[in-house]
Structure 1
Amino acid sequence: GVSSTSAPSFIPPKPNAALLILCRNEDLGELLPTLSNLESTFNSHPLTSYPYVLLNDQEFTPYFKAKLTAYLASARQRFGGPHASDPDIRFGQVPPEHWRAPDWIDWEKAKRRWEIIAKSKVPYAMSESYRHMCRFQSGFFYRHPLVKDLDFYWRVEPQTRYTCNLTDGTGDFFDPFRWMKKHNKKYGWVLSLKEYQATIKTLWPKARMWLMKNPQYHSPNLDILPFISKEDKIGYNLCHFWNNFEIANLDFFRSEAYQAFFDHLEELGIFYYDRTGDAPVHTIAVSWFLSKEEVHQFTNIGYYHTPFHYCPQ
């Protein structure tokens, strides 16, 4: 269990933070091992026990809630010991207007575009619900009543694993929320990948045009931009933070810059006309609006999500 990891002598107060999980009732079987794993590596520690916020576009069933609550309570006892506090679990539903396309989307045009994208063998090319999810994770998750008052969030997905206890590299217990707060970090990640070209045909040219017209939102020296830029400094190299794991200061998503950027993408309809994922949206925003000092790669966190694995060793 995680309580065996030694804690540093001075512990700053616990940030106002939560582990956020967007899932469906049918994800229960894949989610439980992930939660047990989080309890064993991090969240059963007496200094953490952060709330779990679970969101679903449908209502969670009584079975889902009862099973998950009992399972987490048992994991907390197992890894945190007999004096561990009960897990704090909050269930919520996504408001219907945050899980449907804007009224003005031209569905004939959208379906034609989907068929073109499908020829590139892209996952979820024809899925409407996947597009709802990407739009929600791009521009609405941080407005949900269970999230809007939080300062930090850690995105967790079913079927993911944290492969070792969270420590700072010297064996001391490590809390990424406290660390980010102390070091004024806005965005944290572990893995970066390349996006499918076919899913973002219009994202980069349209985003770049808007960003060039709105220099008031740029970070002072744009020092993250090379991470996503081609050598000509104009094209997008498809790199993105793999945001099924991300830890962020929610002020970043609530900022005027991010909100204006999302609103522009929404007006273009690119979540429905393309199959724009939330990962490149987050990545492009981070690259233009934040400086290197505000972004951190957690090289001390072991993480697995099919088919990729990052190991601190």
Structure 2
Amino acid sequence: MVHCFKLRQFSPQKLKRSNVFLLSAFTVFIIFIYINSELILPNTDPFWLNYKIKKEPKYIKESKLLSDSKLHTNIDSPFIYGCSTPNPQEKANAAFVMLCRNSEVEKVVSSIRSMERHFNQWFKYPWIFLNNEEFTLEFQNEIKKHTSDAKFGKIDMKDWDFNPDIDKDEFHEWIESQGDREILYGNLKSYHKMCRFYAGQFFLHPLVTKLDWYWRVEPDVEFYCDLTYDPFLEMEKNGKKYGFNVMLADLYYSIPGLFRYVSSYIKKNDIKVKSAWKLFTLNSNFITGGSKQDRKNLDGIHDGHEILYEIQDQLYVKKLIHEIKNKDEKMFKNNFQIFDKIFAISKKMPNLYEDRINNEDYNLCHFWSNFEIARVDLFKSKEYQDFFKYLDESGGFYKERWGDAPVHSLAIGMLLDLNEIHYFRDIGYRHDVFSHCPSNAVGKQLPYTGDSFIRPDKPKFNGVGCRCQCPKTYDEIENSDCMRKWEKFIQDDYRDNDVIDVDRWTKRIDRKIKHHLRAGGKVGDNLV
């Protein structure tokens, strides 16, 4: 029996639709492959040695993020962009220093392994571990498995504990009250002792004081980039004394009285602060003249141009209220911003400043001291130790929860110029929930020849890092307001605010407004 199969007939229209569908599907497939080629296709250049960017990408031009910007000025810039070949022929008198407990051995090992992998496998700097108790043999043996040179030191109890003359009931009451107010770590005596130790006695410990440089490391931190040069030698060569990686704002209610005591010390000892002071303060001393109400209106504004804007707005407000007649709905719609200003003024509460001294306020910014690369003699100097003793005698380390980070930072503002400070932008770093991870530098990468397999991130325009592998999701701490201050003040064309005479500028702007309105201009137009 013969079976005949009849071929199915397709109309030209159906064939055409089928071809269009196949072509569309193929196009989508090609686009998908192109977009995800780095994930799907084998990467023949895993270290991005030949990767180039011919011109600045559009997203970089439009980006307002500091992490997408270039930070390179005469005051400070990265020591090296991207990777170099490690050349550890000369070493500084330096060490990593970590304060830790026996119970933290796993977190300590984690930090060591990250540091050794990303830097110290080439440079072989020693480690120093400090504890207010004796380190156990188990702890020491475990640490020695991961380091080639480790020293273990015990902190003398007179350096760790507060002055025994402090009334014990008073001390307990101050600590407990901070817990009642839910100040972070405020009710932990050990935390207060640690901050006080790091703020002063740390630099006088027998294992630390003999060093020229220290790199402070905490348990359970992580590094994301390779550092293929010696930061200590580069700091020496470039005249730097203090290096940081993270700058952020502190919690006000942990240090409400700190700036008051710091300012008092400066005045008492007739100290002329250095240029780094502006990183940590809000200054209104460049404003002169004006009525009491004028000064009240300008309170809290610390930028010269913003002050002129405020003077202009105040004049517009006065004209709307007292001079302009026939105020109708149309005028309200056309000048809603000025009317909003009127309502805001009517509801504004007076500003209260608990720590304002000589028209200066602390802006709460500080270098995060869990990452520091600095000269030991900066902090064991008589200038700094006298400063620390003055703060210690005030009782602020237990009456409040003064951290070592704001104490160090305000001291640096007093003692150092901006060109003596270095931002280690090229070091990727995580502590707790805060992370900084730079992009890799284009055209400045080198292959990694170590034991572990790594897949560095694709370099980006304005990148500075070497073989960085950033987390998939994280908030870049470099984009904080405090780091914007660092960016602003290190610019080569930065100038301090000129003195603003409020009376003179009020008359000048008032004349401009009158001419502008007579010429048919609108209330609220910017003229400054």
* Length-normalised TM-score, structure 2: 0.52
In structure 2, give the amino acid aligned to 1:230: L
Q: Does 1:272 find its partner at 2:347?
A: no
Deviation at 1:120, TM superposition (A): 3.9
The residue aligned with 2:121 is 44
The residue aligned with 1:7 is 85
Q: Does 1:129 find its partner at 2:190?
A: yes
CA distance, structure 1, for counterparts of residue 186 and residue 195 of structure 2: 12
In structure 2, the gaps of 5 or more residues are: 1-82, 285-358, 440-528
The residue aligned with 1:89 is 150
CA distance, structure 2, for counterparts of residue 116 and residue 238 of structure 1: 22
Q: Does 1:31 find its partner at 2:108?
A: yes
Counterpart among 248, 265, 270 of residue 210 in structure 1: 265
Counterpart among 210, 218, 229 of residue 281 in structure 2: 229
Counterpart among 130, 134, 146 of residue 55 in structure 1: 130
Deviation at 1:124, TM superposition (A): 1.2
* 1:212–1:32 CA distance, 2 compared to 1 (3 A): same
* Maintained 8 Å contact 1:12/1:178: no
Deviation at 1:109, TM superposition (A): 3.0
Identity within the alignment, %: 38
CA distance, structure 1, for counterparts of residue 406 and residue 84 of structure 2: 37
In structure 2, give the amino acid aligned to 1:14: K
In structure 1, give the amino acid aligned to 2:120: N
CA distance, structure 2, for counterparts of residue 115 and residue 89 of structure 1: 38
* Maintained 8 Å contact 1:180/1:186: yes
1:160-171 residue pairs with structure 2 within 5 A? Answer: 160-166=221-227
In structure 1, the gaps of 5 or more residues are: 74-86, 167-172
Q: Does 1:282 find its partner at 2:443?
A: no
* 1:6–1:299 CA distance, 2 compared to 1 (3 A): closer
Counterpart among 212, 233, 253 of residue 198 in structure 1: 253
* Maintained 8 Å contact 1:105/1:272: no
* Length-normalised TM-score, structure 1: 0.86
The residue aligned with 1:80 is none
Deviation at 1:199, TM superposition (A): 1.4
In structure 2, give the amino acid aligned to 1:206: Y
Matched residue SS, 1:161: strand
CA distance, structure 2, for counterparts of residue 282 and residue 13 of structure 1: 29
Q: Does 1:98 find its partner at 2:175?
A: no
CA distance, structure 2, for counterparts of residue 116 and residue 292 of structure 1: 38
* Maintained 8 Å contact 1:105/1:269: no
* 1:6–1:239 CA distance, 2 compared to 1 (3 A): closer
The residue aligned with 2:452 is none
Counterpart among 150, 155, 166 of residue 216 in structure 2: 155
Matched residue SS, 2:264: helix
* Maintained 8 Å contact 1:21/1:54: yes
The residue aligned with 2:381 is 255
* Maintained 8 Å contact 1:186/1:295: yes
CA distance, structure 1, for counterparts of residue 256 and residue 171 of structure 2: 14
Matched residue SS, 1:44: helix
In structure 2, give the amino acid aligned to 1:226: K
Deviation at 1:97, TM superposition (A): 0.7
Deviation at 1:231, TM superposition (A): 4.3
Deviations 1:95-122 (A, max 9, x none): 1111111022233333333344334422
Aligned residue pairs total: 283
Matched residue SS, 1:42: helix
Matched residue SS, 1:65: helix
The residue aligned with 1:302 is 428
In structure 2, give the amino acid aligned to 1:7: T
The residue aligned with 1:66 is 141
When the two chains are superposed, the root-mean-square deviation of aligned CA atoms in Å is 1.6
Matched residue SS, 1:215: coil
CA distance, structure 2, for counterparts of residue 183 and residue 152 of structure 1: 14
CA distance, structure 1, for counterparts of residue 279 and residue 411 of structure 2: 12
CA distance, structure 1, for counterparts of residue 415 and residue 270 of structure 2: 10
CA distance, structure 1, for counterparts of residue 174 and residue 131 of structure 2: 28
The residue aligned with 1:245 is 371
The residue aligned with 1:169 is none
> Which is greater in Rg?
2
CA distance, structure 1, for counterparts of residue 415 and residue 250 of structure 2: 20
In structure 1, give the amino acid aligned to 2:182: K
